[in-house]
């Protein structure tokens, strides 16, 4: 099936080190379990923040539209956007996609499998277990260039998102919150070749979804090192640099949105 829509590509930092201390089945089971928890929390979050039951049900349709794909250390979220869809429905679809990426990223970070990723927009092909297309490759290349546990919103996705929600942002409606409440934040991101100011996905701002007690205690370095060294992972120089870059990023988010980092006891 040829489609136009959103591709969210993630890879798990430290996955090989994790495998050295686990069986492949254990690793796969943990990832699948976290995805199941993320999907459950997405539904609960939408029901808790929707103004009425009818609105919650509308959001559920968009949740069900997302395809979750897992293979080895790679996770994909695929969501086509029907060109005949109303702008209101497209804005709701974007809201659900961004929220899904935030909750998945937060849960994976808590269990010691931090993600780096990219959300892109464009054409792709998806048929049962097969998927291909320039948009997926674009997201893959962008994600793998990042030298920290974070996700960015590619300019192709950001421009389409901004175009879609612009009318709602003016009216201060719920769907505009994907930009208005700080889910997407510009940051000087260290990459393999340079430092670039990119649109980043603020995954720590989503409240009330923590699954691991104590995961967010301590300062930014404590929080990051706890995630990066779980499962008896040993950090080499490259991994330590990514951890330091991630701690700096979390400190930036906490300074910009005070209280978002240490919200869970």
- pLDDT digits over 101-116, tens only? 999 999 999 999 999 9
Q: In DSSP terms, which residues pair with 7 in a beta bridge?
A: 78, 120
Q: CB–CB of 7/124 below 8 Å?
A: yes
Q: Over the range 212-229, which residues count as b (16 or more CB within 10 Å of their CB) and which as e?
A: beebbeeebeebbbbbbb
Structural domains present in the chain = 2-256 (3.30.70.1230)
CA dist 20 → 13, 14, 17, 23 (Å): 14, 10, 5, 8
**pLDDT digits over 191-243, tens only?**
999 999 999 999 999 887 887 888 898 999 999 999 999 988 888 899 999 99
Per-residue pLDDT band for 11 (boundaries 50, 70, 90) equals: very high
């Amino acid at each position: 099936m040829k489609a136009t829509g959103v591709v969210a590509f993630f890879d798990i930092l430290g996955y090989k080190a994790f495998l050295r201390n686990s069986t492949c089945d254990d690793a796969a089971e943990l990832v699948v379990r976290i995805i199941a928890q993320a999907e459950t929390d997405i539904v609960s979050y939408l029901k808790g923040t929707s103004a009425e039951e009818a609105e919650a049900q509308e959001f559920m349709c968009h949740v069900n539209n997302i395809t979750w794909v897992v293979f080895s250390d790679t996770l994909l979220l695929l969501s086509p956007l029907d060109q005949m869809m109303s702008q209101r429905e497209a804005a709701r679809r974007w809201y659900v996609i961004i929220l899904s990426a935030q909750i998945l990223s937060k849960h994976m970070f808590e269990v010691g499998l931090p993600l780096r990723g990219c959300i892109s927009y464009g054409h792709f092909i998806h048929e049962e277990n097969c998927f291909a297309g320039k948009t997926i490759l674009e997201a893959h290349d962008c994600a793998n260039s990042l030298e920290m546990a974070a996700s960015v919103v590619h300019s192709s996705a950001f421009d389409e998102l901004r175009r879609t929600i612009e009318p709602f942002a003016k009216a201060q409606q719920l769907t505009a919150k994907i930009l208005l409440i700080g889910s997407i934040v510009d940051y000087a991101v260290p990459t393999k070749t340079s430092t670039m100011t990119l649109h980043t996905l603020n995954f720590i701002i989503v409240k009330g979804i923590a699954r691991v007690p104590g995961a967010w205690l301590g300062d930014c370095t404590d929080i990051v090192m706890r995630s990066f060294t779980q499962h008896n992972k040993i950090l080499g120089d490259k991994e330590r640099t990514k951890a330091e870059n991630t701690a700096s990023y979390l400190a930036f988010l906490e300074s910009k949105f005070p209280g978002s980092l240490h919200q869970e006891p």
